[in-house]
Amino acid sequence: QVQLVESGGGLAHPGDSLRLSCAASGRIGGTPAIAWFRQAPGKEREFVAGFRGANTIYSDSGKGRFGLSRDVGKNTVYLQMNSLKPDDTANYYCAGGSNLRQPGLRDPGRYNYWGQGTQVTVSS
């Protein structure tokens, strides 16, 4: 069984940076895909960024501000968030799946494994 645990969220001011961590245990299998989603109160879960193999995609809201990276030795994926805005306020989730196609990376229904979420609040 795959387990994903997020950390690194907290309170930030506009323009600040945060780095979220997703620590993984277990084997996803196949060609693994890892993605970050976020969900604000009263809104649907929204794709932020993700990768499948060597391919990485970003949402329009995160493009140019957010970046994905990985520490293979720690089995951890990171989401670096720069130039934070109040609209970035949400609960951020790490998701994992196996053998997803590129068009499916943005679809939360394609993922089999989810972390518990970490809250990010951006306010002045």
Res. 101 pLDDT band, cuts 50 70 90: confident
pLDDT value of residue 28: 82
State the average pLDDT for the chain: 94
pLDDT value at 78 more than 90: yes
Instruction: Output the CA angle 110-116-117, nearest 5 degrees.
Output: 90
- What would the pLDDT profile of 15-65 be if each residue is shown by its tens digit? 999 999 999 998 888 888 999 999 999 999 999 999 998 889 999 998 899
Instruction: Show the tokens assigned to 2.
Output: 């795959």
Structure tokens at 120: 């990010």
Handedness of CA 100, 101, 102, 107 (dihedral sign): negative
Residue 5's DSSP bridge partners are 23
Q: 55: helix, coil or strand?
A: strand
Residues in the chain: 124
